[in-house]
Structure 1
Amino acid sequence: MASSSPGGIRGEVGETSSSATKEVQIDNIAIETTKLEERFKIVMKARKNASMAKLYKKVEKNIKELRECFEEDVTKKYDDEALAWLLFGDGCAILQYIYCATDPDNNKFKELSIKHDSVAFGHQDLFFLENQLPYCLLKWLMSLSKMKKELEKSIKKFINEFVGKSQDQEILVEIEPESIHLLDKQRTSLLAKHGGQRVPKMEPKSTQKSNQNVNWQSYRNVQELQATGIYLKRSEDDSLSLSDIYFSTLFPCFGFLWLPPIKVDDSTGPKFFNLIAYEMCPDFDNDYGVTSYISFLDSLIDEANDVKELRKVWVLHNLLGSNQEVAQLFNEIGTDLVPNLEIFSKVKSSRQKYYKNKFLTWTSQIIHDHFSSP
């Protein structure tokens, strides 16, 4: 199995699903073994290159620190030299891929004769939990490159594009947190609020106290919320932070639930599954920000009509397929999650307080039933 350490997670060569047939497993192992042999051939050629050998020395010098980023079972079959060359080759490949992927003219991959489908799969593979390399490795390699600034800029652009942020929505932080790996950097970008501030980490006692004061079973999906006078709104300033969710009221009988926009496509499932798996790592101390967001969104989406309503207010952009497919996706991702109840506790308690006010509920329902647009 792959390491669960957030410091850098890589799967074993030839690892396959237990549900696969014996023939498929044998084929997969053969394919992966061939890939590994090809990587070794490339590495061996690189070792003869004087300039590459100089770069390699930086990795070799820090190989003990890098080895500690992996579980022992993953790296024990490699001596320091072999592991250093493998990490060096993989690190350079990642930096080159990201640099090509952020080319404004989209010509870099064409020049390398790399097809679009390979580019798309490579895009997702970079953020798989089991494929993560220590970010310090990438920083060391960039520091020795003549294109250091260009490579750093390409990573920032790559992350922003993958999470759906434009360049003018760049994260503004006085001190950018040290990234553990690319997946960690992606998570930080997704959860960064305006000005780069994050939702503070809550203590377990505070979470338990909040849980005692709120009746969580009373929360409703999108359609039922609308029937009680709670309307959905897209977050102000088009904030894409997953933590930018809040509740407000206008006069006594109108409530508004503000949500950040989200684009749903083929990459959405793998992206959130990997981020949630990362947050669940036992040695990663975090506030379960992504898990809590998905749990909250899943509570709003029960069926296709809920997705339809989210699309109508431009909260959800569906590039996946039917509304039902989107609903099924979030219901699947949201299964058996254990969120941090404190993160959206104010939103939920305000929404619940509004919902419990019967006078407001009746008034809003009359307005919704008789004065809404057909």
Structure 2
Amino acid sequence: MEAGENANNRSPTATPKIQTIQNFASLQRENTGFKKYHEPRAVLLGPIHYGKPKYQLAEKYKLILASEFIKNSSKVIDELYKKIEDNIKEPRECYEEEATKDYPDKALTWIFFVDGYAILQYIYCATTNKFKDLNIKNDCAALGQQDLFLLENQLPYCLLKWLMRLSQLEAHQAESKKGESLHSMEIPHEQRLSMDGDSEPIHLLHLLRTTLLDNLKKVNNSSPNNSKKQDWQSYRNGKDLKNAGIWLKPKTTFLNDICYNPSCFIGYLNLPKISADNSTGQKFFNLMAFEMCPDFDNNFEITSYICFLNSHMNHADHVMELRKAGILHNFLGSDQAVAKLFNELGTNLVPNLSIYSDVRADIHKHHQTLLSHMFRFYHDYFDSPWSNPTFFGVLLELILSVIQAWFTVKLTSQSY
């Protein structure tokens, strides 16, 4: 009841609060299998999960990272800590009240102090390959990278910028910050790391979402009088598209940049490249959970993209079509594992049907053409090792029957 009142009273232009997944995403919360996606694997960041015993080893690494960052600063620890404590109200208000109510100012100041500088040093080490200097192994660094992008593990982006300014290393760290180890999503770092206009991201997960999407792309790309709105399944899987004369074509671009291009007798469905690995499920789950925040005004681009991929990956052979086209890089091993992953992610989602509406309409239109029927006829009857012999056997039998009938008629007429 209280959550509903807070949502109703919040201004549409208010900055979304950092919160727990149990505040929303109720459909996904019912599936206990999603717990592996929203709980940290190695390191706790921020107040939401703070103090859990199984993460004590990571706390030592955070102290090492934070002290290394501060050591390279011209400021002393007491001075930096005091400035955070004096201004603790601003970062505290970046969270839902429930997440920080049990923390007095001094405790919350310590969390922001250690975790904030640990994140900045981690990013610096990730972009300069200097984890070995701090005796941090690659597997720990990889798990730490994944934990940076959990919704419940976020620190306010404004706090990170503030900490850099306080330490007088902003110019040096600004370039390092751009890396964020986002290369695993195969999106070039140069492509729009800033937000639309003069606004800035709320946290690192928000920044990740921004790098993956084309902010300038219109959501509703259909004409107002377009009456050919098809259901979501009209996308069809890659095998069905190929059989109808639509070929899959890869492109290195933003996730929401999906389009259909006709070319002579066939069509091309252009899809952005993507990798499937051990971090894919966790990353996309948290991006979708962020879109479901009741106070985050967005068009559900990531959610709609996952629904789109899910419609193309019902079975392993559908994944194979995407892989053969160069769209999907599979690091999970089997194609069935990839299909299972995206089927799991795509369960109980509500996409934005305005996104890709022109793509749906164009694919549906292509399927109504005579050429598409010819492609499907060919694949139905000739696209197997036994199709041609069977066809020619039937054709030969038909020809012989016609010849036999002709001779029968000819002989019968001569007898008269």
- TM score, norm. by length of structure 1: 0.80
Deviation by residue 1:296-320 (Cα, 9 ceiling, x = unmatched):
0111111111111111111001111
Q: Is the contact made by 1:43 and 1:86 (CA closer than 8 Å) also made in structure 2? A: no
Q: SS in structure 2 opposite 1:350? A: helix
Report the Cα distance in structure 2 between the residues aligned to 1:8 and 1:136, rounded to whole angstroms.
13
Q: Is the 8 A contact 1:254 1:364 kept in 2?
A: no
CA deviation map 1:193-218 (0-9, x unaligned): xxxx4333569xx9999798324444
Report matched runs for 1:28-107 at 5 Å. 29-31=52-54, 51-103=76-128, 106=129
Structure 1 CA distance, aligned partners of 2:316 and 2:196?
Answer: 42
Deviation of the 1:343 alpha carbon: 1.2
Q: What is the letter of the counterpart of residue 309 of structure 1?
A: E
- Cα deviation, 1:43-70, whole Å, max 9, x if unaligned, reads 99x9xx9712222343223311211111
- The correspondence of residues 285-300 of structure 1 with structure 2, limited to 5 A, is 285-300=297-312
Deviating more after overlay: 344-353 vs 174-183: 174-183
Report the equivalent of 2:237. Answer: 221
Q: Which of 7, 12, 17 is the matching residue for 1:7? A: 17
Structure 1 residue 7 displacement after superposition = 3.2
Amino acid at match of 1:243: N
Contact 2:62-2:118 at 8 Å conserved across structures:
no
Aligned to 2:258: 245
For residue 153 of structure 1, what is the aligned residue in structure 2?
175
Count residues with an aligned counterpart: 343
Sort the Cα spacing of 1:11 and 1:99 in 2 relative to 1 into closer, same or farther, 3 A: farther
Mapping of residues 177-216 of structure 1, within 5 Å = 177-192=199-214, 197-200=215-218, 213-216=229-232
Q: Higher Cα Rg: structure 1 or 2?
A: 2
Any residues of structure 2 matched to 1:169-180 within 5 Å, and which?
169=191, 171=193, 175=197, 177-180=199-202
1:314 & 1:35 partners in 2: Cα distance?
38
Stretches of structure 1 lacking an aligned partner (at least 5 in a row):
21-27
Following the alignment from structure 2 to structure 1, what is the Cα–Cα distance between the partners of residues 134 and 127?
15
In the other structure, the counterpart of 2:150 is 128
Match of 2:158, SS state, is helix
Instruction: Name the residue aligned to 1:163.
Output: 185
Does the CA-based 8 Å contact 1:221-1:299 persist in structure 2?
yes
Q: Percent identity?
A: 46
Deviant stretches of 4+, over 6 Å: 17-20, 33-44, 206-212, 369-374
| Alpha-carbon distance between aligned partners in 2 of 1:198 and 1:338, rounded to the nearest angstrom | 23
Q: Tell whether the 8 Å contact from 1:135 to 1:180 is kept in structure 2 after alignment.
A: yes
Shift of 1:280: 0.8
When residues 84 and 208 of structure 1 are mapped into structure 2, their CA distance, relative to the original with a 3 A threshold, is: farther
Distance 1:152 1:110, change over 3 A: same
Aligned residues: CA RMSD: 3.7
Amino acid at match of 1:163: M
| SS of corresponding position for 2:135 | coil
SS of 1:293's partner is helix
- Gaps of at least 5 residues in structure 2 are 1-6, 8-14, 23-30, 36-50, 386-416
Distance 1:191 1:130 in 2: 22
356, 359, 372: which one pairs with 1:361? 372
